[in-house]
Structure 1
Amino acid sequence: MVGEKDLEASLETLRANAAGPVAGVFGPSSLTWRIDREAVIFLGAGRALLLQLAHPWVAAAIAEHSSTLADPIGRFHRTFDIVFTMVFGSLDRALLSSRQLHRRHSMIIGEMPETVGPFAAGSRYCANDIPSLRWVHATLVETALMVHDLVLPPLSAEERERYWSEARLYGALFGLTGDDLPADWSGFAAYNAAMAQSDTLTVSPAARQIAEQIFRGARPWLRPPRWYRALAARMLPERLRAGFGLVLDARDIRAADNALTWIRRVYPKLPDRLRYVGPYQEAQARLRGEPQPDWMIRCLNRAWIGRPQMDVRGKG
């Protein structure tokens, strides 16, 4: 388990390797900024969530401790607020977000309500468990690159290695050390392939129920469109797709194909102000020395993180 001292040790290592106090952990020349700035990465949110739910501990924690179902928009904002502040925030804000996430996770403990895969009923789970954190980290890193390469020119082999090297820094924000993560991209790919076949990922009844409720939508206007559900399902390993009961018919496949074709044609032509997420644009404004994000960045931030400015937050 990642304790507070473990986290602080990871953050000290990260601070020594960060781009700088203003640039943050990664900075503008990083592949992490280049990929995570793209609004189209949201296409992978459904896939990442389903992969996380496929881990029985994660599903149990969400079922018992999360407001995902009662407040899906709030959950969306809180999740992206944490992720984007870690990636695009100033160094102090990124570290603060890391500490806040760790404190939140420290309160998420419980017992498995039933046996699922290798996890026995009554066994204890905790959100700061290293294997669970490693898996959540992997779903975010792999999915972002997968969607990027679906829509935009794929990264080269050398760029993938750089991206994974940066992802190991990102892992430090979760309290993961170099020993907790694969050393290179091929090791990361092997880890994901092994997890996809392992019964460590077993879709529990709770996971399936949460997924059904999310993709059905608490209200009609919150329901993801057919093509989005189909695309999320197609990006899953077949075994997990079956576990979630995601059966795709010809209409589903056609809807996903048509949407992806249209997105590939239109998205790269969007102006940067619409194409790039608000927190990235705020980070660029911060590097230019601008004291406040402009009105458009504030509007985009409200859409992505639920508040107008990323780099304003209470003390941790």
Structure 2
Amino acid sequence: MASPVTADTSRAASRHDLERHIAAAVQRVTNPIEGMFGPHSVSWRINRESALFLGAGRAALLQLAHPWVAAALDQHSSLLAKPIARFHNTFRFVFTMIFGSAPQAVRAAHSLYEMHTRITGDLPADVAGYAKGSRYEALQVPALLWVYATLIESAVIAYECVLPAITPDQKEAYYAESKILAGLFGLPPDALPSDWSAFQTYIAQMFASQALGVSDRSRFMAHHIMTGAGSWIHVPPWYRSLTTEWLPPRFREEFALTFGHRERKSSQRAHRFLPGLYAKLPSTLRYVGPYQEACARLSNRNPGLLVRSSNRFWIGQPHTPFDK
């Protein structure tokens, strides 16, 4: 795989790429009601955990560190005015692809692709290796790959913050399964690192490269997210400290996020109290609504009120979409 510096930045995910991957993914499905992954997958095991919320801030900030992604979010999304809507939109697609039936996952993939075809624009300023006025498209492979990578890696970091560490074999299995999700995003197989080790190398290369960089505008958006501005959520100091801890030092500096003695102590306290607190959560709170809805579907049960309420928190609606 090419390094982020030498990669072809003009390459876009094509409809042919998407349809070819969907066909291959569907062919592997043995029971469509179980979806693309199924209840025995590592993907279900990791992504069912509400602990994923711990990594949402990190993933969001690292996405803002990609100038194309930051410009698209600024110019085409409700991130600043309605940050919760952006949160819901992300998890609505991701959770449908992971926990929905196979037909739901396919419809979600088509809908996401169509949405991305409408997201284009010009960079408003020079950032890192990109010139002001240069063109971006949401379907450009490097940007799609980076968004996918932030979600996959941040999920593992958040999981291991409160639960026993995932074994190397499980990480390999998780990454192998995640390539199905990447294909549903529209990413062609040859754009993906080959295995978990190569995936980690790719991320390290990105962190050190001019493929990422923080502008004044993306810094403003990051601080907007970290304070919960524009939403009913009050982001606690320990969450901000954890998010900052999980960023490379380069991006702590570029985003102007303090990680001094106070923040270190706060994140250390979070590491101590979160696992015990998380272990006491009832399953209705510990597991995300779309996972609970999937379990009800497999048992031929209607999801109850608590599941619908959890769905409203995670995806902004009572049921996983794209059902018809």
1:267 paired residue among 275, 278, 289: 278
> Percent sequence identity over matched residues?
46
- Superposed, which structure 2 residues align to 1:273-284 within 5 Å? 273-284=284-295
Which residue number corresponds to residue 307 of structure 2? 297
Cα pair 1:52 1:136 within 8 Å, conserved: yes
- Describe the SS at the equivalent of 1:22: helix
- Describe the SS at the equivalent of 1:222: coil
The yes-or-no answer on 1:224 pairing with 2:235 is yes
C-alpha displacement at 1:50, in angstroms? 0.6
The yes-or-no answer on 1:13 pairing with 2:30 is no
Change beyond 3 A, Cα 1:57–1:312: closer
Which residue number corresponds to residue 183 of structure 2? 172
1:197 paired residue among 208, 221, 225: 208
CA distance in 2, matches of 1:121, 1:219: 28
1:38 paired residue among 41, 49, 57: 49
C-alpha displacement at 1:218, in angstroms? 2.3
The yes-or-no answer on 1:251 pairing with 2:238 is no
CA distance in 2, matches of 1:311, 1:127: 22
Q: Structure 1-normalised TM-score? A: 0.95
CA distance in 1, matches of 2:55, 2:314: 15
Which residue number corresponds to residue 39 of structure 2? 28
Cα pair 2:138 2:144 within 8 Å, conserved: yes
- Superposed, which structure 2 residues align to 1:128-147 within 5 Å? 128-147=139-158
Which residue identity lines up with residue 242 of structure 1 in the other structure? E
The CA RMSD measured in Å over matched residues stands at 1.4
CA distance in 2, matches of 1:211, 1:18: 39
CA distance in 2, matches of 1:122, 1:269: 51
Query: Runs ≥4 in structure 1, deviation > 6 angstroms?
Result: none
C-alpha displacement at 1:105, in angstroms? 0.8
Cα pair 2:81 2:230 within 8 Å, conserved: no
CA distance in 1, matches of 2:14, 2:131: 24
- Superposed, which structure 2 residues align to 1:87-98 within 5 Å? 87-98=98-109
CA distance in 1, matches of 2:145, 2:27: 22
Segment drifting more, 125-134 vs 255-264: 255-264
C-alpha displacement at 1:219, in angstroms? 5.0
Change beyond 3 A, Cα 1:149–1:226: same
Q: How many residues align?
A: 313
Which residue number corresponds to residue 214 of structure 1? 225
Cα pair 1:90 1:311 within 8 Å, conserved: no
Which residue identity lines up with residue 108 of structure 1 in the other structure? I
Which residue number corresponds to residue 117 of structure 1? 128
Q: Structure 2-normalised TM-score? A: 0.93
CA distance in 2, matches of 1:273, 1:213: 30
C-alpha displacement at 1:109, in angstroms? 0.2
Cα pair 2:82 2:230 within 8 Å, conserved: no
CA distance in 2, matches of 1:47, 1:84: 18
Which residue number corresponds to residue 316 of structure 2? 306
C-alpha displacement at 1:156, in angstroms? 1.1
C-alpha displacement at 1:7, in angstroms? 1.3
Cα pair 1:57 1:125 within 8 Å, conserved: yes
Which residue number corresponds to residue 127 of structure 1? 138
Per-residue deviation, residues 251-289 of structure 1 (Å, max 9, x unmatched): 222222212211111212322222101100000110111
CA distance in 2, matches of 1:170, 1:284: 20
CA distance in 2, matches of 1:118, 1:74: 30
Which residue identity lines up with residue 294 of structure 1 in the other structure? G
C-alpha displacement at 1:212, in angstroms? 1.3
Cα pair 1:61 1:127 within 8 Å, conserved: yes
- Describe the SS at the equivalent of 2:107: helix
The yes-or-no answer on 1:60 pairing with 2:71 is yes
Change beyond 3 A, Cα 1:311–1:222: closer
Which residue identity lines up with residue 304 of structure 2 in the other structure? D
CA distance in 1, matches of 2:44, 2:148: 16
Which residue identity lines up with residue 281 of structure 1 in the other structure? Q
Q: Runs of 5+ in structure 1 lacking a partner?
A: none
Change beyond 3 A, Cα 1:123–1:312: closer
- Describe the SS at the equivalent of 1:68: coil
CA distance in 2, matches of 1:230, 1:257: 9
CA distance in 2, matches of 1:102, 1:278: 24
- Describe the SS at the equivalent of 1:247: coil
2:61 paired residue among 41, 46, 50: 50
Segment drifting more, 130-139 vs 6-15: 6-15
